[in-house]
Structure 1
């Protein structure tokens, strides 16, 4: 199951805020984070994790319809690195998920 923005608004509403105020708070938070990332700033939420902008280099690709080789432009992507506290909450007390090596 996926937690949606509407689900988050409902959870904020459960804290005693009106539905309208809950939606405004969630929208404002997401807008602040989006603006910071668009300006190239990292977003650090203590105890949760860090959102960062990474620059991807241009790379070779292929048009799947024609098979033509293409050079894809460089681009920026958002990455997320979870905090140790979040990792522990996900994995439980001391239960560490096996580390899977990533291909180089």
Structure 2
């Protein structure tokens, strides 16, 4: 490397020589242990929040039920449209014999 970079690296590493190790508070471990042993304060959820959550879950369930019921209904017009597409494109199961091509020594 270049001598300028080497000198810079040595100067940076040399700046760590005068650093002393940090000394923790001698009672720090005891303070932490005391906090861990203490019982946490009891927290309460207000009735308003509970009823709000219940109402939101009921609304979510009702909306899901409505979507499922609407998707389960088949309109007759959609069925006839599908039959029209199948007949126009000649998509009959008798014409779609995929495995007949691969039977025997045809591959």
TM over 0.5: same fold? no
Which has the higher relative contact order, 1 or 2, with Cα contacts under 8 A spaced 6 or more apart?
A: 1
Q: Which has the higher strand share?
A: 1
Q: Could you tell me the TM-score, scaled by structure 2's length?
A: 0.23
Structure 1 or 2, whichever has the larger Rg, is 2
Q: Which has the higher helix share?
A: 2
